[in-house]
Amino acid sequence: MPPSHSRQRSPLQEFQLIDTLHRRYGRTGPRVVRGIGDDAAVVTALKGHEWVVTTDLVTEGVHFDLTTATCEEIGYKAAVANLSDIAAMGAKPDYLLVSMASPTSRTAADIERLYRGIMRACRPYGVELIGGDTSASLQGLFVNIVLIGSVPAGRALTRDGAQAGHLIYVTGTLGDSLAGLNLLSGRRSLKGSFGAMTRPDQGLVRRHLRPTPRLEIGYTLSTQRLATAAIDLSDGLSGDLRHVCAQSHVGADIDADALPISPALRGYAQRHRIDPLELALQGGEDYELLFTIAPRHRLTVERLGRETACKLSCIGIVRPHRSGVRLKDRSGRMRRLPLLSYRHFRPMPHPRRGGR
C-alpha cells in the first residue's frame, strides 16, 4: 500500500523540526562533542564509569490515549519510564534520543508539546537531548525514547543479586497510578478540569500522569553498595517482584500489611468498594523502586529514607527458591502471590466488588 504524498512529513518539515529542537534543547554541555544535526551524536565517557542504556517504546491506543492525556503529559511519562529504568540500575541519566512517528492528524505544535513534556521530565536531572528521528505514521503516534546513563564501574544494580534472608523494600506508595488511571478513564475528555475531583483524587491522577523517577535513591543505593538487587515497578509489584526472584533464583514472602498504601488510595478504594491491596499488587506505572538489602544495612537504609524524604517500606523477605513467591495476608495465612499483570492504559479489568 504505497502512501499518498500527503501522508508523508516532507523532508523540509523534518529539517525545520530538527532546527527548532536544536535551537530549543540543543544547548549541550562539555561532554557532548556533537549533538543533534550530524549523522550521529558523539559523547565522551566519564572516567571509571560504565554506560547504562535503556529504551522504551510507547504507542497510541496501547500505552496512552489522547483523550485522557495531553501530548505534554504523554511525553513526560514516556521519559519517566526510561528515567525510572536508569534509577533502577543505580545510575545517573546523561543523554536522550527521541524517535517519533506521527500521523498527519498531529500538528507540529503537538509534536513540540511532546518534546516539551519529555524535556520537562529530563531537565531536572541534567539530561541532554543528543539525537533522534522523525517519521510519518499511517495511524497512531509512536514515541521511542533512548536514555543513556552512567554508573561507577561495577556498581550497577541488577536483578540477580538477591539472596535468601535479604530484606525487600519499596519506595513511595503503590497502586496510586492505577487508581489515577481509573479516575481519568471515567471521563470522556480532559476538557473537564480537576475541579470536580476531590483533592486526594487529584493527587492520584497526578501520580498517574506525572510519576517521579526515583533517581536519587537509586544512585545512593548503588554507589554506597547498599542494595543487592533492584527493579522499577512499571508492570506492577506482583509481576516485577517475580523478575527479581527468577533472575536471582530465590523465592520471597511479602507481608500484605506492610505494603505502603496512600490515604488517597484507601479513600478511593473504600468509595469504589475495591480492595486497595489488589490495586497495590496489580498497579503498574507507579515507577517506584523495589530493592533488596542485606539485613545489616537496615538502619543505614532507613536513615537514607529520612534524609532523602523518600518513604521506604520493608515489605518482606527473600526466601530460598523452593518457597516460591508468597503473600502473608492480613489474617496471617500464607498463600501464593497472585500474578496480576498490569496492562498499560487499561482501567482495572476486574474490580473486585465488596472486597476491602
The cell for 280 is 497495590
* Binder of its own copies out of 23, 126, 133, 300 (CB under 8 A): 133
Min dist. Cβ of residue 93 to its own copies (A): 10
Do residues 149 and 94 lie in contact, with contact meaning Cβ atoms separated by under 8 Å? yes
Residue with smaller CB distance to its own copies, 209 or 230: 230
Do residues 209 and 253 lie in contact, with contact meaning Cβ atoms separated by under 8 Å? no
* 86 is a contact residue toward its own copies (CB under 8 A): yes
* 85 is a contact residue toward its own copies (CB under 8 A): yes
Min dist. Cβ of residue 270 to its own copies (A): 26
Min dist. Cβ of residue 95 to its own copies (A): 7
Residue with smaller CB distance to its own copies, 152 or 305: 152
* 123 is a contact residue toward its own copies (CB under 8 A): no
* 132 is a contact residue toward its own copies (CB under 8 A): yes
d(CA 118, CA 135): 18
What DSSP line would sit under 106-150, residue for residue? S-HHHHHHHHHHHHHHHGGGT-EEEEEEEEE-SSS-EEEEEEEEE
Lookup result for grid cell 501520580: 207
d(CA 28, CA 22): 10
* Binder of its own copies out of 17, 56, 121, 221 (CB under 8 A): 56
Residue with smaller CB distance to its own copies, 170 or 230: 230
Residue with smaller CB distance to its own copies, 10 or 270: 10
* 151 is a contact residue toward its own copies (CB under 8 A): yes
Q: Which of residues 216-275 bind its own copies (CB under 8 A)?
A: 230-232, 235, 239, 247
d(CA 31, CA 44): 5
* 101 is a contact residue toward its own copies (CB under 8 A): yes
Q: Is 20 exposed, middle or buried (0-12, 13-18, 19+ CB in 10 A)?
A: middle
Q: Which stretch binds its own copies (CB under 8 A): 51-59, 111-119, 206-214, 296-304?
A: 51-59
| Amino acid (one-letter) located at 107 | T
Residue with smaller CB distance to its own copies, 237 or 261: 237
d(CA 126, CA 61): 31
d(CA 71, CA 14): 19
d(CA 107, CA 244): 42
* 338 is a contact residue toward its own copies (CB under 8 A): no
The cell for 62 is 496501547
Min dist. Cβ of residue 146 to its own copies (A): 5
d(CA 145, CA 58): 9
* 285 is a contact residue toward its own copies (CB under 8 A): no
Total binding residues toward its own copies, as defined by CB under 8 A: 78
Q: How open is the CA angle 251-255-258, to the nearest 5 degrees? A: 135
* Binder of its own copies out of 75, 117, 149, 211 (CB under 8 A): 149
**DSSP letter, residue 4:** P
Min dist. Cβ of residue 110 to its own copies (A): 17
Q: Which of residues 166-185 bind its own copies (CB under 8 A)?
A: none
Residue with smaller CB distance to its own copies, 53 or 197: 53
Lookup result for grid cell 524517535: 99
* Binder of its own copies out of 74, 114, 121, 130 (CB under 8 A): 130
* Binder of its own copies out of 131, 172, 175, 211 (CB under 8 A): 131
* 188 is a contact residue toward its own copies (CB under 8 A): no
Q: How open is the CA angle 171-212-190, to the nearest 5 degrees? A: 130
